[in-house]
Structure 1
Amino acid sequence: MSAVSQDEADRVLHLKSREREAHACYPCRKRKVKCDGVQPCRTCQKRKHPEICTYVLPHSRRRSASRHSVARSASPRSPAVASNQQARPDDSSKNYVYSGDNSVASILRMRASDINESVAREVGSVLGLQNTFSNYTFMNSKTPLERWQSLLTVMPQRSEVLKFFHFYRVTAYPFNPILADIDRFESDLCTYLNAHASGELRDPENITDRWATDKSIGHVSLLLATLAAGAHYSDIGCSERFELSTDFARRSFHALRLANFLFRPSLDIIQALLILGNTLQNMGQSDAAWALLGTTIRLAQTMGLHTERSTVHWPEHVRTKARNLWSTIIWQDSLLCLCYDRPPIVSVTGWSFANSFFERQDLSFAEVMHLLCRIGLDIMRPENLSTAESDRALEGLQRLDYAHQRGLPYLRSRENCTTMQQHLEHLALRMHTSFCISVLCRPAMKQSTPQPFLHQTGILRDRAKGSLIDASKAFLDFQALSTVPLRSWSMVHTVLSSTLLLCIWEETRNDPECCNLQQKVIDVFSSSNSRINDDGASLPESDSQWLSDRHIRALVTLRSALEREQETSATGTENWTGMAPNMLPQFGPGPVGPVDMTNPFDVSPVTYLDSIMNLPMFDYTQENGFL
C-alpha cells in the first residue's frame, strides 16, 4: 500500500464488485457458481428454477454509501451529470435510459442523497421509463444456447470479410464516414478474424463467452452491415452483387435482434443501423431508409448521444466517438430531408464544437460536409420557413459559400488535386454543394415562364442555373473515375433532379450547353442501364439495381423529352405545351399529382419534377376496404 493510496484500492475493489454483480444472477452468487449473465442463465435452467433467476438484488449499506459519494461528487449546477451517472460505458447497469434535467427521474437521481437510495436508483423502472427484457422478445431464441447457435448461422466467414470489407473501406467509407472510430473498428476486426481462425466461432454446442455478449453480437451486426455496403460497391456482377448485399443486410438485422437492439442500444448498434439505412438508400429504397433513420435517431437519443452533457463522465475516447456518431446522424437526416423536403428531427445544439473548427481554413472533406449538413438542417427548420424565401435563400447561399471556401485547397479547386482520392473528394463535394444551392434557389424557379423579378430573384436564378450545370458536370467527371456516383443514391438523385430541371426550366431547356449536358447524362445512364425498354420496364439481369423505379421513370421521361425537342422545330412554348401532358401517361395507372389537372403554362419546374420523382407508391384512397 506504500505506492497506492487506500482510496485508489477501494475504487478498484468497488469496480470489481460491480463487475461481479453484473455477470451473476442472485442464485449463482449465493451458491458461488459460474453464471453466463443471461436471464434465465444456464445454471438456473439446469437446476430447474429459472423463475428465481434475477439480477435485481438488495444493496448493502456499504455499496449504497459508495454510490452516495459518486452522486455527491457531481456538480450541483449540472443536473444532467447526476442524472446520467449510469450512462458510463463501463457501468455494469444495462438499464440506463437518458432523461432530461426536468424529468422526475433526473430530479430524483439528483436528490439521491436526500431520499432512499434504492428509490432513486430504480425510479426509471418504477415510472415505466425503462426496458426490462433481457432478450429480444420477437424471435424464437429463448435460451443462451439457442441464441449462440442462431448467431453462428449469420456470422461472416473469413473469405467474406477479406473480400468485401476492402470495398467498404476504400469506396464507401471515404464519402460517407459512418464508422465513428475506423481505426478501433479495424483493430476489432483483426480480433474477430483471429478468433474465427482459432475455432472459437465454430462449435454450436459450446458457447464462447466473449462472443456471446450483447456487446459482441452488436459488433458482429456492425461488421455485417459494413460487408453489405461493401458488397454493393464491389466489382462483381449486378445480380450477384444485389443478392449478396441483401443477404449481408438480412444477417446484420438478425444479429441486431440477437443483440436486443430495440431494448439495449449501443454505439455499435447505432452505427450498424446507420450503415444499413444508407445501404437501403443505395438500393433505391429511400422511403424505408427514412423510416429506419427515425428509429435509429430515437435509439441514439435514448442513449443520450444528442447532448454533450449526458456524456460528461464517459472516457474521453468514448465521448469523441459519441460526438462523431451524432454528427453522422445529422449528416444522414439532413440529406434525406433535403431530398424529400421533409422536416428534420435531429438537433445540432446539444454538442458544442471548438471555436477552431469554425475558424480554420483547412477543413477536410468530411468536416466541410458536416458544415453543409448543418446548414441544410437550418434550411429545413419549420421555424425558418416563415422568413421571406428570397432572404432566407440569400443568407443560406452566403453560408454555403463560406463553408466551401474553408476547405483544403484541393476541395476548393480541382487544379490543386494531386491524387486520385483528392479528385474524387473534390467532385463529391461539388455535387453536394451544387445540390444544396439548387434547393435554396428553387423559389426562383417556381414560375414556369419569365416574369419581371427583383434583383434578389435574379441572383437566385443565376445561382440556380449555375448549380444545375455544375452538378451535371461534376457527375460526368466523377463517373469517369469511379463507380461511386452510379452506386450512391444521393448522387443519382442529385444528377437526375438537376438534369430534369435543366430540361424543363424555360431558362435552360433551349440552352445549347444545357442540352449537351442532358444528353451526356442520359448516355451514361443508358450505357449502365441498357436493358430498360422504351416503356421504362426493367428487364432481368440488367445493371439497374441501383436505380429505383422512380429514377427509371425520370430517365424515360427525360429521354422522351429530349427526343421531342430534337424532332420538332416549334418554339419553346409549343415544346412545353406538347411535352408535359404527353409524358405523364408513361408513369402507369394511378394518381400522378397536380400536373395533369393544371394548364402546363402554369406548372412550375419544381412541381413537374416532384410529379416525376415522387409519384405516390400507394393509393391511399383505397384504405376503406380490406380487399
Structure 2
Amino acid sequence: MSAVSQAQADRVLRLKSREREAHACYPCKKRKVKCDGTQPCRTCQKRKHPEICTYALPQRRRSVSRQSIAARSASPASPPANLNYEETRPEDNSKNYVYSGDNSVVSILRLRTSDANESVAREVGSVLGLQNTFNNYPFMDSKTPLERWRSLLSVLPQRSEVLKFFHYYQVTAYPFNPILAEMDRFESDLCKYLNAHAAGELRDPERITDRWATDKSIGHVSLLLATLAAGAHYSDLEYPQRLELSTDFARRSFNALRLANFLFRPSLDIIQALLILGNTMQNMGQSDAAWALLGTTVRLAQTMGLHTERSTVHWPENVRTKARTLWSTVVWQDSLLCLCYDRPPIVSVTGWPLPNSFYERQDLSYTELMHLLCRLGLDIMRPENLGVVEGDRALEGLQRLDDAHKRGLPYLRSRENCTTLQQNLEYLAFRMHTSFCVSVLCRPAMRKATSQPPFPHADILRARAKGSLIDASKAFLDFQALSIVPLRSWSMVHTVLSSTLLLCIWEETRNDPECRSLQQRVIDVFLSTDSRTSDDGASINEGDGQWLSTRHIRALVTLRSALEREEEAGAAEAVNWAEITQSMLPQFGAGPDGLMDLQDPFDFSPVTYLDSIMNVPMFDYTQESEFL
C-alpha cells in the first residue's frame, strides 16, 4: 500500500470511528456495548437507567484519562449534573471511596488486585448493590444543571448575612463546640465566596459558574449556611426574630445539602454541616430530632470511613488529621446526647485510639479535655458496662474524671489561674460538663432510699453527687453572668435544670439552706421580671433572649410550685413530694401509671421523677394503629 493510500485509509477509519462514537450514548460507549442511537436507547432502558442515557458529553471530558478526570474534578467544564461518573472529593484528594470492612468482598478484591484506580472494586461494589449510583439527589425537582443552579442561587447567603452572623458563630458558638475541623481553611474559603459574590459570579440565573456548581462547592455552601444558623441563634436579636432567622438558615442549608446529593455522595463539609445543624436544633429545643439526625450523620461518616484510622491510610496526612478531628467531634455530640437521654451510644472510639502522650500530658486544652470527657461519657453508657456492680463502676468512673481534670491547663484546674475572659468561660463550661458527668455516675446512690440496704461506696457517691449538683448550679450562675452561652446552649440548660430539680427533690439536699438558695437563684435567672407569660402560666424570658423548650417549661413550673408549697408548709412541716408529683400529673398530660408508684415515699426515685418531667412522650404510641 502506498503512503498516500495508507494516509487516506487512516483518515477514513478515523471518520468511521467518530461516526460510531457519535451514535453511541455515554453508558453504552463506556461499557463497549451496542447502542441503537435512540434517546433513551434500548440498552439503557433494559439496564433500568434511562435517566443517564445521553450523547452530549463535553469534548475535554472525552479526551482525558480517568486519572486526569479525578485530578480536575474540582472544577469540571460545565458537565451535565448527572454525568459525574468520576466524581471525587477534592478536599481529601482521595478517590470515590466507600468504606467496607476487611472481610467484605470489595475489600478482598481491593487488596488482591493491582488496579491503581480500584475500578474493579468499584464495579463489583456496584454489582453487589454496595455502591450508590445516583449522582443527583433523586428527591428534588431540579433535574437539569440550569435548574440546579437556580435552586442554588435561591439559598445562597448574602454578603450582609455572612458578615453579621458568622462573627457570632466564630466568637460565641465555636469555642465551646468546635465542630469545624479547620477554622483557618474555612475562613479562607469564606473569603473566596465573598469575593466571588462581589464579582457577580453568583448572580446570573441563566449562566452557570462552573466552579460554584460542583458538589464540593455546594457542600461548602451548606456548611456556611449551617454556621450562620448557629450564629443567628447566638446573636443579639430578640427571640422571635432570632428563631426565624436561625430556622431560615437551617432550611437553606438543608436545601443545599440536597443539591450536593448529601445522602449519596457525602463529604467532609457535608458531615460538618450536619453536625452543626444538629447542634443548632438542640439549642432550639429540638434535641430529639437532633438525636435522629445524628444517627444519619454517623452512618454517612462511617460510609466515608471516618470512624477508623485504617480506612484513611490512602489519604494525605493533613486530611487524615482532619478526619480524626471530625470523628472526635461526632463522638462529642453522641456522648452528650446519650448522657442526657440515657440512651445507648452508636459511635465507636476503637478505630482512633488516643496517643499515649495524651494520657501523660499535663497541659490539655479545653477542647482536648472535652474530647477525653466525652470518651469517658461513652464508657459510662456502654451496655456491656451496665452489668458491673453499680458502686464499683461509679467509683472507677469518678477516678478517671478526677485524673482527667488534673491534667488540664492550670486555668482549667482552678479559676484562680484564669487571667482572661475566655479562660474564665472555658473553666466554667468544663466545670458544668464535669459536674454533669459526676452526677450521672452517682445517680445509683441517689436512686437508693436511705431505708434500703447500702451498696458499695454509697457514702462516697452520695457526697460526690451532692457536690456535683451544687457545683453545676454555681458554675451556671457564674457563667451566665459573663456570657449568653449557657442560656443558649441546650446541654448547659439541661444540666442546670437537672441539677436544680434534683437538689429540690432529693432528701439530702431539699432542706439544705445553700441548696435552697441556689434553686431560687437559678429560677430567678430563667423567670426574670421582664419576661412574658405563656398560656400555661410559664414564664419565658425575652430580655436575656434565652429559650425554654416545652419540657423545660414543665420542669420550671413544677419546681416553682413545689418550692412555693414548701415555703407555705414551713420548716416544721415536711412536704410530701409524692403528693406534689401526683398533683402535677394532669399538667404533664400523663396519668399516675405513666410515672411510678409513689405510695411509699421511701421508694421515691428523684431520677425517675426528673425523667418523668423532662421526657414526657410527645405522642401516644398506643394509638399507632388508628388512622384517624
**Do Structure 1 and Structure 2 share a fold, with TM-score over 0.5?**
yes
Q: Residues 300 and 603 of structure 1: is their aligned pair in 2 closer, same or farther, counting only changes over 3 Å?
A: same
Encode CA deviations 1:195-254: one digit per residue, 9 max, x unaligned.
111111111111000000000000000000000000000001110000000000000000
**Structure 1 residues 438-453: aligned runs within 5 Å:** 438-449=439-450, 451=452, 453=454
> Match of 1:52?
54
> d(CA) in 1 for partners of 2:268 and 2:67?
31
2:331 matches 1:330: yes
> d(CA) in 2 for partners of 1:230 and 1:489?
15
Following superposition, the deviation at residue 89 of structure 1 comes to: 5.4
Encode CA deviations 1:287-325: one digit per residue, 9 max, x unaligned.
000000000000000000000011112111111110000
Q: Greater shift after overlay, 312-321 or 594-603?
A: 594-603
**Structure 1 residues 168-317: aligned runs within 5 Å:** 168-317=169-318
Match of 1:387, SS? coil
> Match of 2:457?
456
Q: Residues 303 and 579 of structure 1: is their aligned pair in 2 closer, same or farther, counting only changes over 3 Å?
A: same
> d(CA) in 2 for partners of 1:589 and 1:269?
40
> d(CA) in 2 for partners of 1:473 and 1:503?
15
What is the one-letter code of the residue matched to 2:518?
L
> d(CA) in 2 for partners of 1:456 and 1:49?
67
> d(CA) in 2 for partners of 1:228 and 1:613?
26
> d(CA) in 2 for partners of 1:434 and 1:115?
52
Q: Residues 174 and 591 of structure 1: is their aligned pair in 2 closer, same or farther, counting only changes over 3 Å?
A: farther
Following superposition, the deviation at residue 542 of structure 1 comes to: 8.4
Partners of 1:231 and 1:244 within 8 A in 2: yes
**Structure 1 residues 3-22: aligned runs within 5 Å:** none
Q: Residues 113 and 181 of structure 1: is their aligned pair in 2 closer, same or farther, counting only changes over 3 Å?
A: closer
Match of 1:342, SS? coil
Q: Residues 116 and 176 of structure 1: is their aligned pair in 2 closer, same or farther, counting only changes over 3 Å?
A: closer
Match of 1:133, SS? coil
Match of 1:625, SS? coil
Following superposition, the deviation at residue 115 of structure 1 comes to: 14
Following superposition, the deviation at residue 591 of structure 1 comes to: 7.3
Q: Residues 382 and 540 of structure 1: is their aligned pair in 2 closer, same or farther, counting only changes over 3 Å?
A: closer
> d(CA) in 1 for partners of 2:230 and 2:597?
39
What is the one-letter code of the residue matched to 1:52?
T
What is the one-letter code of the residue matched to 2:333?
Q
Following superposition, the deviation at residue 594 of structure 1 comes to: 2.2
What is the one-letter code of the residue matched to 2:606?
P
> d(CA) in 2 for partners of 1:540 and 1:51?
58
What is the one-letter code of the residue matched to 1:183?
D
Partners of 2:92 and 2:319 within 8 A in 1: no
> d(CA) in 2 for partners of 1:522 and 1:49?
60
> Match of 1:397?
398
Partners of 1:538 and 1:544 within 8 A in 2: no
Following superposition, the deviation at residue 431 of structure 1 comes to: 0.1
Encode CA deviations 1:1-20: one digit per residue, 9 max, x unaligned.
xxxxxxxxxxxxxxxxxxxx
**Structure 1 residues 536-551: aligned runs within 5 Å:** 536-537=537-538, 546-551=547-552
> Match of 1:15?
none
Following superposition, the deviation at residue 356 of structure 1 comes to: 1.5
Q: Residues 359 and 398 of structure 1: is their aligned pair in 2 closer, same or farther, counting only changes over 3 Å?
A: same
Q: Greater shift after overlay, 157-166 or 526-535?
A: 526-535
2:138 matches 1:140: no
Q: Greater shift after overlay, 537-546 or 411-420?
A: 537-546
Following superposition, the deviation at residue 450 of structure 1 comes to: 5.1
> Match of 1:382?
383
2:549 matches 1:556: no
Q: Residues 51 and 531 of structure 1: is their aligned pair in 2 closer, same or farther, counting only changes over 3 Å?
A: same
> d(CA) in 1 for partners of 2:532 and 2:522?
17
Encode CA deviations 1:570-597: one digit per residue, 9 max, x unaligned.
6565433442222333223567732366
> d(CA) in 2 for partners of 1:399 and 1:517?
28
Q: Residues 248 and 534 of structure 1: is their aligned pair in 2 closer, same or farther, counting only changes over 3 Å?
A: closer
Q: Residues 418 and 296 of structure 1: is their aligned pair in 2 closer, same or farther, counting only changes over 3 Å?
A: same
Match of 2:522, SS? helix
Structure 1 unmatched runs, 5+? 1-24, 31-39, 41-47, 67-85
What is the one-letter code of the residue matched to 1:499?
T
> Match of 2:491?
490
Q: Residues 193 and 572 of structure 1: is their aligned pair in 2 closer, same or farther, counting only changes over 3 Å?
A: farther
Match of 2:429, SS? helix
Structure 2 unmatched runs, 5+? 1-24, 31-39, 41-49, 69-87
Q: Residues 122 and 450 of structure 1: is their aligned pair in 2 closer, same or farther, counting only changes over 3 Å?
A: same
> d(CA) in 1 for partners of 2:145 and 2:116?
38
Partners of 1:592 and 1:611 within 8 A in 2: no
> d(CA) in 1 for partners of 2:145 and 2:593?
52
> Match of 1:77?
none
> Match of 1:81?
none
Q: Residues 571 and 291 of structure 1: is their aligned pair in 2 closer, same or farther, counting only changes over 3 Å?
A: farther
Following superposition, the deviation at residue 451 of structure 1 comes to: 4.5
2:484 matches 1:479: no
> Match of 1:580?
581
Q: Greater shift after overlay, 407-416 or 104-113?
A: 104-113
> Match of 1:120?
121
Match of 1:531, SS? strand
Q: Residues 598 and 119 of structure 1: is their aligned pair in 2 closer, same or farther, counting only changes over 3 Å?
A: farther
> d(CA) in 2 for partners of 1:65 and 1:535?
64
Q: Residues 203 and 27 of structure 1: is their aligned pair in 2 closer, same or farther, counting only changes over 3 Å?
A: farther
Q: Residues 117 and 548 of structure 1: is their aligned pair in 2 closer, same or farther, counting only changes over 3 Å?
A: closer
With normalisation by structure 2, the TM-score equals: 0.84
> d(CA) in 2 for partners of 1:528 and 1:124?
63
Match of 2:376, SS? helix
Encode CA deviations 1:107-147: one digit per residue, 9 max, x unaligned.
11211149998543411101100000010000000000000
Encode CA deviations 1:307-350: one digit per residue, 9 max, x unaligned.
00111121111111100000000000000000000000100010
With normalisation by structure 1, the TM-score equals: 0.85
Identity of aligned residues (%): 79
> d(CA) in 2 for partners of 1:124 and 1:289?
31
Match of 1:207, SS? coil
What is the one-letter code of the residue matched to 2:121?
A
Q: Residues 539 and 169 of structure 1: is their aligned pair in 2 closer, same or farther, counting only changes over 3 Å?
A: closer
Partners of 2:220 and 2:269 within 8 A in 1: yes
Q: Greater shift after overlay, 610-619 or 255-264?
A: 610-619
Partners of 2:257 and 2:270 within 8 A in 1: yes
Structure with max Cα Rg = 2
Following superposition, the deviation at residue 353 of structure 1 comes to: 2.4
> d(CA) in 2 for partners of 1:420 and 1:65?
51
Q: Greater shift after overlay, 118-127 or 507-516?
A: 118-127
Two-structure CA RMSD over aligned residues (Å):
3.0
> Match of 1:71?
none
